Chains A and B, each alone.
Chain A
Amino acid sequence: MSTPTVDIPYLNISDPSFAMQSEELRNAREASWYARTNYGIAVLRYDEVSKLLKSPKLKQGSAQWPAHNGVHGGLFYDWWTKNLLVLEGEDHHRIRRLLNPAFSPRLIKDLVPRFQALANELIDAFIDQGECEFIRDFAEPYATRVLTILLGIPESEWPKIARLASTVGLALGVTFKRDLDKVEAAVAELYEYADELIKDRQANPGEDFVSRLVLASRDGDRLSDEELRNALVLLIFGGMDTTRNQLGLAMQSFIRNPEQWALLAERPELGAKAVEEVMRTNPTVTWVTREAVEDFTYQDLFIAQGTTVHLFTQSSGTDPLAFPNPEMDLLGEHAPHYGFGGGVHHCLGHFVARADMSEALPLLASRLADPHLIGGDEWLPDSGNTGPTRLPIGFTPRG
């Protein structure tokens, strides 16, 4: 409780100009393992992020989001307060156990040829022009259609799914209360989709992903229809923008590191390594939020029950104490990053995201030489989840 207030840096993390990859943040990380912010504390170094991310003294920090915004009921509220991301303890573990088998890496591997065909189809459509808007022409359709492949929805439905999911996404913005009607309508429409899918697979179960969810059982327990549709909406929501943003950031990273792009073109087997290096040095999820379940002291810091704790991903992934050579290096050996979070809420879809991105990046590298920015790029702020929303690039077609 006698925490020294001198020397502890302060960061205004909801300022739109707040930048993760900045002198300000590097100086703060050098001075201290944590910073105070306008909204809880921020953990900046690798060791501390790694430990606190999995600490039993902390729980997921977003459960109260609708309530903080004055929303106490309705479809979105019910969906949000019962989804895996905010459930804790045995309620969380029970759902996670029932969802896990469908996400087995062995099953995801079977989808790899479809990921490759999709990437090539999208590249074919713009390659001859020597330029593209990378988000509109690749990252967004790729991320969304991967999900339709996984869920067994016709791929032609992707624009509709993308639109619905981004409407639900308004719920995480500052205008949540104002957009509530639109959000409720989008949740209702996604529910209809999910219900149809569930009914169809219950009647005609196969070997596909949704059938596995529908048939999943353990110790005589299974998912109810309501739990199934809650989970399907969570997968659509949690898998789409994240993958789109991460692919956009990957392109930014490689534009900054052309020799690494050339290396990837030559050695496509480095695709998996490329994903890890991009997510370590340029992650879309800039922080993971936790909340203290009880009073405790960590190192020199007293953390009161209810305190919000932001675990910074890019800052921890480039911490010189853990990474003496923090720059992106596809041939380097680096400790794991926390771009997929960690602990009991570790991303459920990471095998899917890793598999689809590690196919996309080497294919892009082998066909688009010397990618460069041509102006007109637009970006999300660095608070929460970041990435380009528009990324016009030029390149030299290859092969």
Chain B
Amino acid sequence: MKTVDVDRSLCDNHGQCAIAAPEVFRMNPDGVLEYEPTFDDSLLDVVEEAIDVCPVQAIFLKD
């Protein structure tokens, strides 16, 4: 298992992470980000893609 962290002071709820890695990130009905901090190793590729596409670069991998 791996862990990911979103800096809420930066996150602007664009939801691009939820497009890139819906397994880990989702937007609630109010348009606010919710996510699962721990995820299976097999999802590392898509999580790295979410990290890349975040317009404000608010997502960080923790080791």
Query: Interface on A for B, CB 8 Å cutoff?
Result: 50-51, 54-56, 93, 96-97, 100-101, 103-106, 336, 340, 342-344, 346-347, 350
Contacts and interface: CB of A to CB of B under 8 A. Distances in A.
B16 A344 contact: yes
Given A100-B53, A336-B56, A340-B55, A54 B19 contact: no
B46 to A, nearest CB: 8
Given A104-B52, A106-B52, A336-B12, A344 B31 contact: no
Nearest to B13: A54
B12 A100 contact: no
Contacts of B53: 100, 103-104
Contacts of B52: 100-101, 104-106
Interface of B: 12-16, 19-20, 27, 29, 31, 49, 52-53, 55-57
B40 to A, nearest CB: 16
A43 B38 CA distance: 38
A295 to B, nearest CB: 16
B12 A342 contact: yes
A103 B29 CA distance: 28
Contacts of A104: 52-53
Nearest to A344: B15
A350 B55 CA distance: 8
Contacts of B29: 56
Contacts of A342: 12, 14, 55
Given A342-B14, A344-B15, A54 B31 contact: yes
Contacts of B57: 105
Contacts, number: 46
A104 B55 CA distance: 11
9 contacts: A54-B12, A55-B31, A97-B49, A100-B49, A101-B52, A104-B52, A336-B12, A342-B12, A343-B31
Contacts of A50: 12
B19 A97 contact: yes
Nearest to A340: B55
B54 to A, nearest CB: 10
A336 B56 CA distance: 8
Contacts of A347: 55
A56 B16 contact: no
A350 B12 CA distance: 15
B14 A346 contact: yes
B14 A96 contact: no
Contacts of A51: 31
Nearest to B55: A346
A51 B27 CA distance: 13
A93 B53 CA distance: 13
Contacts of A96: 19
A342 B13 CA distance: 9
A97 B49 CA distance: 9
Nearest to B57: A105
Given A100-B49, A336-B12, A56 B56 contact: no
A182 to B, nearest CB: 35
Contacts of A336: 12, 56
A97 B20 contact: yes
Nearest to A335: B12
Contact of A54 (B14, B20, B49, B56): B14
A45 to B, nearest CB: 16
Nearest to B14: A346
